[in-house]
Amino acid sequence: MTEVAEYTTILWDMDGVLMDSEPQHYRAWERTLRELFGVQSIDWELYKPCIGCKYEVVARIYEDAYGIDIRPKEVHDLYFRYKAEVEAEEGYLLIPGIREVLQELKKRGYRMAVASSSPLSDIERFVGKSGLSDCFDLLFTGEQVRHSKPAPDTFLEAAKGLQAEPSECLVIEDSYNGVLAAKAAGMECVGFVNPGSGDQDLSEAGIRISDMRALLDIL
């Protein structure tokens, strides 16, 4: 990794990094496809490439796998209804230590943004209900860019929003797609090994951690 002193800005993925939400997304998709298309179970290996991608990319993966059409608005709306339902049932599952880490890094003067493929409404709701609003200078959704992760657009535009150069940014990601997006953006990346996100290939990340609190020793 680049010298630590060069980093002024930290860009955080949300799902699987701030909260352990990928299993919840998976369950929401299962309920959606079961109700509308009779798909009883989604293979986890099929779901893994969806991690870190926005809705349109996920939809194409399921369309190709099952020969179904997920473009209609009723599918989109039902998925997000089930997603909210699962979150209401289970609550937001914060990554252990994340609140402590964010608060400490904020004290140290880092500018921080959420840079996620999730809709802005989901990001705002999570950050607000989790009491993390004061930790972030920007909430950025990949829906604002043309190309989803693994393209670099989400991270590049989030960096612009914080008036930071790519070389000043450190990305925290838990997915293969996210790590590739960070590298394509010319940013260093810490890969967070989250079992809830499946066996993701994080080999391109500059460093890998399995405990978020390890960031405080790195930075």
Reported as a single tens digit per residue, the pLDDT across 43-95 is 999 998 888 788 888 889 999 999 999 888 999 999 999 999 998 899 888 99
Contact between 178 and 16 (Cβ < 8 Å): no
pLDDT at 2: 45
Q: Is the pLDDT of residue 129 over 70?
A: yes
Percent residues over pLDDT 90 in the chain: 79
Helix ranges (DSSP H) in 67-186: 73-90, 98-107, 120-129, 153-161, 176-184
Confidence of residue 5 (pLDDT cuts 50, 70, 90): very low
Report the largest interatomic distance among the alpha carbons of the chain, rounded to a whole angstrom. 53
User: If pLDDT is split at 50, 70 and 90, which confidence band does 3 have?
Assistant: very low
29: enclosing H helix or E strand:
helix 22-37
Residue 51 in contact with residue 177, Cβ under 8 Å? yes
User: Strand, helix or coil at 113?
Assistant: strand
pLDDT attached to residue 81: 94
199 against 157, higher pLDDT: 157
Cβ neighbours, 10 Å, residue 201: 13
175-203 pLDDT, tens digit per residue, is 999 999 999 999 999 999 998 888 899 99
Entry pTM: 0.84
The answer to whether the CB of 142 falls within 8 A of the CB of 151 is no
Instruction: For 213, list phi and psi in degrees, rounded to 5.
Output: -65, -15
Q: How many beta carbons lie within 10 A of that of residue 216, not counting itself? A: 13
* Percent of the chain whose pLDDT exceeds 70: 98
Read off the amino acid at residue 163.
Answer: Q
SS3 for 101?
Answer: helix
Q: Average the pLDDT over 142-164 and give the result.
A: 95
User: Which residue, among 19, 10, 25, has the nearest Cα to 129 in the 3D structure?
Assistant: 19
Q: What is the spatial distance between Cα 144 and Cα 138, in angstroms, rounded to a whole number? A: 13
Query: Edge-to-edge strands of the sheet including 169-173?
Result: 138-141, 111-116, 9-12, 169-173, 188-192, 207-209
Q: What spatial distance separates the first Cα and last Cα of the chain, rounded to whole Å?
A: 11
Amino acid found at 52:
G
Q: How far apart are CA 54 and CA 93, in angstroms?
A: 20
The mean pLDDT of the chain is 93
